[in-house]
Amino acid sequence: MKKTGVGIGMMAAFMVVAAWLAGSGVATATLPLQKKAKELGYPAANCQYCHVDKLPKKGAAVSNDRGKWLHEEKEKRKAKEVDPAWLKDYVEKKADESK
């Protein structure tokens, strides 16, 4: 009898977590974009490679300088989505340039 109760509790917890993950928004950046950037040799270890937040939410994502540059490139190139291959043209700002 105890095993059934634990199993039902675990299933309920799993369903709550699954529903939460399905309902939470994500930024326009996707894991495939991050994977492609890694394959191209860029150190895109997490979302903060292009975003300020560790886990940006859709509609509330704040891009860092690299992310802003990628969005500008997307607009300039009239592309449907960001292409990590464009990063070859990105020039990182030095610490004293950001002031």
Among 7-11, 23-27, 34-38, 95-99, the range scoring the smallest mean pLDDT is 23-27
Q: Is this structure's pTM higher than 0.75?
A: no
Radius of gyration of the chain (CA): 19
Could you report the per-residue pLDDT of 60-82, keeping only the tens digit for each? 889 999 999 999 999 999 999 99
Could you report the per-residue pLDDT of 9-33, keeping only the tens digit for each? 666 665 654 544 444 433 456 889 9
d(CA 14, CA 9): 9
Burial class (CB in 10 A: 0-12, 13-18, 19+), 26: middle
Q: What is the number of other CB atoms lying within 10 angstroms of the CB of residue 89?
A: 8
- Kindly indicate the confidence band of residue 98, based on its pLDDT and cuts at 50, 70 and 90: low
Amino acid identity for residue 93 in this structure: K
